[in-house]
Amino acid sequence: MIELITQHPFAAALLALVSLGLVFGALLGFASVKFKTEGDPIADQVEALLPQTQCGQCGYPGCRPYAEAIANGDDINKCPPGGEATIAALADLLGVEAKPLDAAEEAVPSVAYIREDECIGCTKCIQACPVDAILGAAKHMHTVIASECTGCDLCVEPCPVDCIEMRPIETTLQTWHWDKPQPTEDLIASDRRGNSPIEAA
């Protein structure tokens, strides 16, 4: 063996490298079969961050399709119900720059409300609801299961008598919480010498 190496150093090196290559190649090939991931793990992670309102305001029919689109490189700022918090979380996950929300304003959490005496029982809102949160039958009054409503407002448009409105979720004693203090300008000692805080910053 040693004789072979000393006599044919080039051939020996070649042999060693080729055999190494084959061994690792086989290892990699085996690993790629053995540890194959089903589905798109990035899309799953993205989906976990989306608010699941299924409102379609991003232009995709639901949160899953948008998650897949983001995984394939779409912008992360198209989700008004998620707002800045979701954008920040997505930017963190994907390692991209957080962009301002691609909408006029963040969606206020709201819940659909059917004015029941005006409802004609057409079932159009029931068909529109992505989470089956509207209860009713043909020619019978419908009502919203408020606890299941995601506030996507997809039911508002199909209503032929405009009896559905979106009402912001009211704060109750149970949901009330302390507000964060108004972020004051961070004053430092030099601010006192006539410099406005903004210029100093």
Partner 1 sequence: MRKIWDIHGGIHPPENKTQSLQDNIRAAGIPAQLIVPLSQHIGAPAAPIVNVGDRVLKGQMIGEAKGFVSAPVHAPSSGTVAAIEPRVIPHPSGMSAPCVVINCDGKDEWISHQGISDYRSLDKNTLVDTIRNAGIAGMGGAGFPSSVKLSGGKDKPIETLILNGTECEPYITADDILMQERAAEIIAGAEILRHIVEPNETLIGVEDNKPEALAAMRAAAEGTGIEVVSFPTKYPSGGEKQLIQILTGKEVPSGGLPADIGIVCQNIGSARAIYRAVCHGEPLISRVTTVTGEACSTPRNYDVLIGTPVQYLLDLSHFDASRCIRLIMGGPMMGYTLQDTAVPIVKTSNCVLAPTVEELPPPPPAQACIRCGMCAEACPVSLLPQQMYWFSRAQEHDKLEEHNLADCIECGACSYVCPSNIPLVQYYRASKAEIRQAQQDKIKAERSKERFEARQARIEREAAEKEAKRKARLEAAKAKQQSATKDGSKDDIIQAAIARSKAKKSGGADNPPQDPAQAAIARAQAARSGDAVSETAEEKTARLEKQLASTEKRLAAAQQKLQLAIDNNDDNVEAFRSGVEKTEGKLQALRKELDAHRASQAPAPAESVSDDPAAAAIARAQAKRAGGAETESPDAARERLTTQIASTEKRLDAAQQKHADAQAQGDVNAAAFATAVEKTQAKLDKLRAELAALPAAEPEPAAEASNADDPAAQAIARALAARNANAELSEADKARNAVSSLEKRIAKTQQKLDQAQADGDDNAAILSDTLAKLQGKLDEARQALDALSQEEG
Answer for the pair 169, 111: CB distance below 8 angstroms, yes or no: yes
Q: Which of 125, 150, 163, 164 binds partner 1 (CB under 8 A)?
A: 150
Q: Which is nearer to partner 1, 12 or 45 (CB)?
A: 45
Smallest gap, in angstroms, from Cβ of residue 144 to partner 1? 13
Two structure tokens written together for 147: 């606890």
DSSP 57: T
Name the nearest CA neighbour of 144 among 166, 160, 170: 166
DSSP 43: H
Site of tokens 């089903």: 38
Confirm or reject binding of residue 38 to partner 1 (CB under 8 A).
no
Q: Which of 39, 177, 196, 198 binds partner 1 (CB under 8 A)?
A: 177
Query: Could you tell me where the beta strands, DSSP code E, fall in 7-62?
Result: none
State how far the Cα of 173 lies from the Cα of 194, in Å rounded to an integer. 45
Q: Which is nearer to partner 1, 53 or 57 (CB)?
A: 53
Determine the distance from the C-alpha atom of residue 78 to the mean position of all C-alpha atoms in its chain, rounded to a whole number.
9
Q: Which is nearer to partner 1, 133 or 155 (CB)?
A: 133
| Number of helical (H) and strand (E) elements in the chain, helices listed first | 7, 4
State how far the Cα of 121 lies from the Cα of 112, in Å rounded to an integer. 16
Confirm or reject binding of residue 187 to partner 1 (CB under 8 A).
yes
Smallest gap, in angstroms, from Cβ of residue 4 to partner 1? 57
- Binding to partner 1, residues 64-123 (CB under 8 A): 85, 88
Smallest gap, in angstroms, from Cβ of residue 148 to partner 1? 6
DSSP 26: H
Q: Which of 10, 178, 193, 198 binds partner 1 (CB under 8 A)?
A: 178
Q: Which of 69, 133, 144, 159 binds partner 1 (CB under 8 A)?
A: 133
Answer for the pair 159, 146: CB distance below 8 angstroms, yes or no: no
Smallest gap, in angstroms, from Cβ of residue 175 to partner 1? 8
Stretch that binds partner 1, among 68-76, 115-123, 134-142, 172-180 (CB under 8 A): 172-180
Smallest gap, in angstroms, from Cβ of residue 73 to partner 1? 23
Smallest gap, in angstroms, from Cβ of residue 179 to partner 1? 6
Two structure tokens written together for 33: 């079969």
Confirm or reject binding of residue 39 to partner 1 (CB under 8 A).
no
